[in-house]
Amino acid sequence: MLSDGSALKADPKSAENNSTAGAVAIFIALACVVCPWRTCIARCSDEGDVNENNKTSYAERALYFPSDYDRENPLTKKQGDLRVLDIRRAEAEKRGDHAQVAALEQEKVAVAAQSTTAQMGQYASAN
């Protein structure tokens, strides 16, 4: 009942619109479940967008990343720095640069000896 005492009447046209909208929603939901979206998107995209024949390894590109999650996270900074030093040492060994290999080994020893607390202090002072 409304505040003026009259009863609320159901509009048959709005009920019909609601059932139509419900049927459309169910159809769209079923289409989303049944349709192979990845296949549709793959057919629409250019095949040349991804270079699948590029066999560049992570170690070859890791030194050119502007940042790295492992080196930026204070809790994993030590492991990230040691990993990058190993990659740099391997590159220096390939080139035959024995002086740089020795310098990187010394740097690796210094990083390995550093405590997590000291690393977090450096991170806090840098930021």
Residue 83: which residues within 8 A CB-CB, separation 6 or more?
Answer: 62, 70
Q: What is the pTM of this model?
A: 0.49
Residues 6+ apart with CB under 8 A from 73: 80
Mean pLDDT of the 51-77 span: 78
> What is the pLDDT, as a whole number, of residue 112?
86
Residue 34: what pLDDT? Answer: 84
Q: By C-alpha distance, which of 72, 74, 81 is closest to 108?
A: 81
pLDDT at 96: 92
> CA quadruple 41, 47, 49, 52: dihedral positive or negative?
positive
pLDDT digits (tens, 9 = 90+) for 1-43: 556 655 555 555 666 677 888 899 999 888 888 887 777 777 7
pLDDT at 105 over 80: yes
